[in-house]
Amino acid sequence: MKKVLGYILTPVFYLTFGLSLVIFQPIQWVCYKFFGYAAHKKSVDALNFFLTYSQITLLNSVSFKNNQQLPTDRPIIFVANHQSMYDIPSIIWFLRKHHPKFISKIELTKGIPSISFNLKYGGGANIDRKDSKQSIAEIIKLGKRMNEKNWSTVIFAEGTRAKDGKMKPFQIGGIATLLKIVPDALLVPIAIGNSWRVVRCGTYPLTALLPLKWTVLAPIEKGDKNAEEVVLEAENAIRQQIDQVNVS
């Protein structure tokens, strides 16, 4: 049933999702060029509202649970598992007051309406995976912006998408680098569930009638712990939450 509905509803989803990207490209440009960061951010927030709720066209529900009292006056490193590209819009929309930034492949800064513009001018780090010096330098710059502006950064610590929903071990590299630059950052795990199921048949058909879930888990203070310890703590917390989603 879900797959059959997917054949019917996927074109509607792509139309809605794609139109949002195309419409917000000039809106972002005007906001950034004439009104600066604050206006540009509001346009990006609005874009990601529409991208998030494009899932309604697939009859998918969106549940973003955040019962944590997270500060806005200190940097945060959000650490999440990664299942599909549809993980991202909800994080940007629901955590918008924390100014979430991403570490992205530099190739994504060209050719994608709205997304490329935001990656290029939104304040994140765009890294060349073939150039380790450039990558580290970009992450250091991002860390400095986090310190100066109390921004947050979202890191998908598996390093790649879990296309079958099974979490891979977390990598510590990017998180460890950020913690050196932003030692007082709060580490906050986010567990993402069922997003992989949307694309389990590939780009067509997408799967319908899914409960998509994001859960913000208890923050982790680094304190005297090293990067390996806090990343492992975040990984275990997310893995436990994901196991509950898979069972349900």
pLDDT digits (tens, 9 = 90+) for 71-120: 999 999 999 999 999 999 999 999 999 999 999 999 999 999 999 999 99
Q: How many CB atoms lie within 10 A of CB 160?
A: 9
Domain of residue 218 covers 2-247
Look up the CATH number of the domain holding residue 241: 3.40.1130
Mean pLDDT, residues 179-194:
96
DSSP 170: P
Mean pLDDT of the chain: 95
Mean pLDDT, residues 198-210:
96
> Is 60 within 8 Å of 208 (Cβ atoms)?
yes
Those residues whose C-beta lies under 8 Å from the C-beta of residue 27, and which sit 6 or more positions away, are 43, 46, 47
pLDDT at 218 over 60: yes
pLDDT at 121 over 90: yes
pLDDT at 247 over 70: no
Q: How many domains, in total, are found in the chain? A: 1
Cis peptide before 205 (omega within 30 of 0): yes
Complete edge-to-edge strand list for the sheet that includes strand 76-80: 61-66, 211-216, 186-193, 76-80, 152-156, 100-105, 125-127
Question: What pLDDT shows up at residue 245?
Answer: 65
Model pTM score: 0.95
